[in-house]
Amino acid sequence: MEYIRQAIERAKERPNRQSGAGLEAPRARANQSFVAARPQQSREVELDSAYLQSRRIVAFDGQDFRARSFDMLRTGVLRSMDLEEWKTVAVTSPTPNCGKTLTAINLALSMARQPERQVFLADLDLRKPRVADCLGLECREGVLGVLEGRIAMGSAVIRARIGASNLDILPTSSTSNSSDLVSSNEMKMMLQDIAGGERSRIVILDLPPLLTGHDAVSILPQVDCILLVAAVGISKVSEIKECDKYLQDTRVVRFVLNKTPDSDTAYGAYY
């Protein structure tokens, strides 16, 4: 937990300002109903750059200076994942409003700019999903429909394009019954299938906050590593420390401290 310990020390030094704003399971296909998405099955859409920028999604453009922080984060995360041969990184936070979804999306778009990488972004925050809305996508089923057997994986995935970048997105609609779904065998099979694609595929999972329920904790045993996102003026040192006890058996690949007053951009500092 070295990244968390370092960030706690840094957080103690900062003013408390109010802000404005591995899969270790087998890689084989577990069940035919969860066949991994293929391009010809997926719905293809062109993302709107103006809409993305209005939602603070900027990392699709490598010329935008605001993308630099996410490119630096991408480099560090991929270096660690490649060394360990990890494929799946989950993004979470202690509590809501820390910027975990924006971080997950921008990181995915930054990775997708590398032509040798295949990027798969899944929204597993079943109570309060935000990925589709942030990207301007319509989602009626997604993860929820796959888990409940109403839609095949290939039909649920959206192949999104912007510029020269492509990434696969598995959004979701919301449900109040997330507790049973995240711990179900269907969820395990779906995650095994998502991670069972090409070796170049990187899977980014947007999880619920750790301290608002047990949904994220239920998924942790099935991921390779965690990216933990906190925010100055929102996250308390005690909350970051509390996350540590849930992450004892999960590798923290990086810690993101958002909304730092001394950062070059509005997005944060990385440890």
Q: What is the mean pLDDT of each run of 10 residues along the chain (271 residues)?
A: 61 47 36 41 88 96 94 96 96 97 97 95 97 94 94 94 93 92 94 84 96 94 96 95 93 92 57 60
CATH number at residue 91: 3.40.50.300
Q: How many domains does the chain have?
A: 1
Give the per-residue pLDDT at 164.
84
CA distance 123 to 59: 18
Residue numbers of the domain that contains 164: 2-270
Q: What is the pLDDT of residues 79-96, one digit of tens each?
A: 999 999 999 999 999 999
CA distance 57 to 202: 19
Give the per-residue pLDDT at 118.
94
Q: Are 127 and 44 in contact (CB under 8 A)?
A: no
Q: Are 181 and 147 in contact (CB under 8 A)?
A: yes
Q: Are 256 and 247 in contact (CB under 8 A)?
A: no
CA distances from 79 to 84, 85, 109, 111 (A): 9, 10, 17, 12
Placement of tokens 């900062």 in the chain: 14
The two tokens of residue 120 are 């798969």
The two tokens of residue 169 are 């997105």
